Amino acid sequence: MARAGPSRSQRARAQVQLSTPEMEDEEMPPSDDEAMLDELSRALDEGDKDMNKRANDLVRLALFNEQRRLPLRRDEISKKVLGQRRGQFKTVFERAQQTLRLTFGMELVELPTRSATAADRSQTQTQTQTQGGDDDGERAVTGLRKKVAAQGSKTYILRSTLDPALISYAAQPHKRVREVEAAAIDPDAEGGVEEPHGALLAAGENPVPLGVLHVVLALVLASGRVLPDGELRALLRRLRLHPTTPLPLPGAPHRPLTLELLLSQLQRQGYLDRMRAGPAPAAAPKRGRLTNTQGHGDDDGAAWEWRWGPRAHAEVGEAAVGRFVAEFMAERSARGAGADEEDEDEEDGGNRRRGRGEEAQKRYAAILKGFERSAGGALAGVTE
C-alpha cells in the first residue's frame, strides 16, 4: 500500500516557514533609532558643506583684499561670510587657513593694534637703552612684541608661508623661462610689449613704490624708530624724491603717483603711521592723513612724526630691513675696494681677493651692529 503524502495543512505551514525570512526583510520598517541616525547624518553633511562654502568665501575675500593691500577686518568677515552664524568663526577661519596654506602658500595673520605698537616701540627703546642691548634686552623686546600681538586687533592680512630660500630662487631669472615667455609674447598687442623677465615668480607689481617703502622704513628704523616729518622729507630730497615727484605707476596714466600720494596710500595700507609729535594725549594718538599741499606740518603748525605701521611689523620685520641695509652698504664698500685693486699688481690683487670673503662678512656684521645701535636696540622679526 502506497505511503500517503503530506496533508494540505502541512504543506501550507512549510510554505509559510520558507517565506517568512524574506517577508520580514522586505516588510519590516526601520526603527526609530535608525531613522534618527540617518537624519542626523544628513544634517551633518549639509552643515559640513555649508562650512566649506563659507571657508571658500573667506578665502576669496582675503585674496580680494590682499590684491588691494587692504587689511581684512573681522566685522567684514562676519557681514560678508558668516551672516547669522557668527559663532562659527573659529571653524570657518581654520578651514580657510588650511586652504590658503595648501593651495596658495599663504596664511591669515592678525595685526597688532596701532596704539599698542606705538607704546611697545617707546617702551622697547627705553629698555634697550637701559640694558645696553644685551641678550636680556633682546629677550625683553621679543616678550613685549608677543604680548602686544596677543592683544589682537581683529584685523588680518595675508602673509606668505613659503620658504624664503625658495622665493629667492624662484625670483631669479632663468634662460629657459625667458625663452618660453618670449615665444608667448604677441608683438601686435596694444600698450606695448614688456621685456620677458625670465623668473618663475614674478613680482607682479610696480617695484618703485615697494622700493620707496623699504627706504622709508629703513630711514625711520635708523632714526630710533621715530622720524620727524621734516627730517624724512629732507632725507628724501637728497634722493631726489620731492613731494610732487611723479612715480611710474602702470595702468594709471591720467593720475601719476606722486610721493605725497604714495605716503598717504602706505598709511591706509598700514605700512606707516604718521602721528603728532610730543607727549601723547589722554586719548588715543591722533594720526594725520597727507594731502598734496602738506609739508612739514598741518595748517595749525603741528609737528608730525613717522613710525612703522602694524602691517610693516607683521609683514616686513625690522630684522629683514636691517639685513637689507647692511647688505647694500657692504656691497657698495666691496665695490669701492675692488676698484682700488685694479691698479695693483696681479699677485697682490690675488692675495687681496682671497681674503675678500672674510672681510665682507666682517664688514656686514659691523654695519648690521651699527644699524641696531641707531635703531635703539635689537631688531625684531615679524610679529607672530
Residue 252's SS3 state is: coil
**177 vs 123, higher pLDDT:** 177
Residue type, 96: A
Q: Would you place residue 319 in the very low, low, confident or very high pLDDT band (cuts 50, 70, 90)?
A: very high
Task: For CA atoms 259, 264, 265, 271, give the dihedral sign.
Answer: positive
Over the chain, what is the mean pLDDT? Answer: 75
Residue 307 has what pLDDT? 92
Average pLDDT over residues 330-356: 61
Quote the pLDDT of residue 320. 92
Residue 88 in grid coordinates: 562659527
DSSP code, position 187: T
Check pLDDT > 80 for residue 267.
Answer: yes
Within 8 A by CB and 6+ apart from 271, the residues are: 213, 217, 308, 309, 311, 312, 315, 316
Q: What is the pLDDT of residues 9-68, one digit of tens each?
A: 555 555 545 545 554 455 555 566 666 666 666 666 666 788 899 999 999 999 999 988
Calculate mean pLDDT across residues 184-196: 63
pLDDT 10s digits, 59-71: 999 999 998 888 9
Per-residue pLDDT at 358: 78
**pTM assigned to the model:** 0.70
Which residues, including other chains, have CB under 8 Å from residue 267's CB and lie 6 or more apart? 273, 274, 287, 289, 290, 309
